[in-house]
Structure 1
């Protein structure tokens, strides 16, 4: 019997997937909530979003101390993973769009959104949604642009710069999202964790190549997960 190549891929994918999620409590400032996530990373099958990474802890700590940045805003997050940042933002924002490109990660992201809504812990959950967005995919970007044509006040990203090949399409997506606001102020808040000097320079260079200005937020540089982390504010020049 002839074996189909697609069948082999399906078997491989099921081998790598770990869905042993545990309900975990997170505390950021006065915000305390639970969500499902892994306690350790899966065997790598592009499933890094199944657990909460150090950069997300850095970003959430920053946002919880500066919640005035979120008040009444519309927000889109890139590489949302299990949604820990979105849960924080939903306490203050009018609209929170969480995105990821991996279908398995999107399942747990949507589950956590439903959990959050069922507990009614947010002041308003009406604008908390999940969308599929793969950086560099023009169809995904077009759908987001049409559905949210008014743009966003803030673009968020945490620990999303760790593969060299993903950085150029990431900044392509950020540039398009920044332009959606049609001249009004919009900024990209990036919680960056330094793991390689080459990546450090690549992130800055890609931002500049896309006509952006990168500013380190004073007082945010700290050690997270044995690496140095920092908050950047990135805007169009």
Structure 2
């Protein structure tokens, strides 16, 4: 008997993986008080990598708030901005801040929130869609910001590396390399708030220890012609995880 109906192919809209049950949350970094929409807990039902504030963002923001003089007057682009907690903080001191992520909905929501607040940031905050390694996205950013940036920031983007595949690591550093090259050697730095944790890559069915992941990330940076330097005095515990600030530049 012939099958009368073909198997149905179910296509899910990307919104199926977005939990928009955001809560207005207060964060304090030094003298700076920020209010942002975000989620408070994780769930495997959704892709929440860009909707939570992760430990690396806390680590990086604490560092930036203690060294806010380094931000004054700079143009900044952030990779993997998530809800925008780091970019919004930088907006209090920088001249220009571009926040990027694969999902810019929550970014625009928080940018609009801060644009209408009394404690408005000094800089204009702009959200751009940027998937690491995506040539069209990178070219669009370069065309809109041809002068490049003084500083590239990454806050706990390791969680993205752990969530997807090892192939994300070279894409991250390829993107950072291209952005660093706009200004040239010595004229732009990449500051990474890095939290070390063990992870499992489901597609490879292997577990990667924190030390192995750390070495993998640093090795990939060097492979893309980037030098890495641990910022003295920044190694600390965030929650129960060890974090550190790295400064990365063209060799």
TM-score (structure 1 length as normaliser)? 0.92
- Shifted more, 168-177 versus 142-151: the winner is 142-151
Aligned with residue 204 of structure 1, among 218, 238, 241: 218
Distance 1:100 1:174 in 2: 14
Q: What are the superposed Cα offsets for residues 17-72 of structure 1, whole Å, 9 maximum, x if unpaired?
A: 32111000000000012110000124254331101000000000000000011000
Query: Conserved in 2, the CA contact under 8 Å of 1:222 and 1:228?
Result: yes
Instruction: Identify the residue that residue 194 of structure 2 maps to in structure 1.
Output: 192
Distance 1:49 1:14 in 2: 13
Q: Distance in 2 between matches of 1:83 and 1:97?
A: 10
Residue 169 of structure 1 corresponds to which residue in structure 2? 171
Partner of 2:207: none
**CA-based RMSD:** 1.7
Post-superposition Cα deviations, 1:97-125, rounded to whole Å, max 9, x if no partner, equal 000013xxx11110000000100413424
What is the total number of aligned residue pairs between the two structures?
A: 230
Q: Which residue of 108, 111, 117 maps to 1:110?
A: 108
Q: Is the aligned partner of 1:214 residue 2:228?
A: yes
Stretches of structure 1 that go unaligned for 5 or more consecutive residues are: none
Tell me the distance in 1 between the aligned counterparts of 2:235 and 2:120.
29
For 1:77 and 1:62, locate their aligned partners in 2 and report how far apart those are by CA, in whole Å.
15
| 2:183 matches 1:181 | yes
- Partner SS for 2:133: coil
The CA distance in 2 between the partners of 1:222 and 1:124, in whole Å, is 30
Partner of 2:59: 58
Do the aligned partners of residues 211 and 36 (structure 1) sit closer, same or farther apart at CA in structure 2, a change above 3 Å counting?
same
Indicate whether 1:9 and 2:12 are aligned.
yes
- Contact 1:16-1:43 at 8 Å conserved across structures: no
> Rg larger in 1 or in 2?
2
Residues 23 and 37 in structure 1, CA contact (< 8 A), matched pair in contact too: yes
Judge conservation of contact 1:42–1:48 (CA < 8 Å) in 2. Answer: no
CA distance in 2, matches of 1:68, 1:30: 13
CA contact (8 A) 2:147 2:182 kept: yes
**Distance in 2 between the 1:236 and 1:120 partners?**
39
Q: How many angstroms does 1:165 deviate by? A: 2.2
Aligned residues of 2:195 and 2:241 also touching (Cα < 8 A): yes
CA distance in 2, matches of 1:138, 1:61: 32
Contact 2:186/2:249, CA 8 A, preserved across alignment: no
- Distance in 2 of aligned mates of 1:97 and 1:213: 24
Structure 1 residues 62-81: aligned runs within 5 Å: 62-81=63-82
Contiguous gaps of at least 5 residues in structure 2: 198-209
* Deviation per residue, 1:161-194 (Å, 9 max, x gap): 2332211000000000000114451100000001
- Cα displacement (A) at 1:226: 1.1
SS in 1 for 2:27: strand
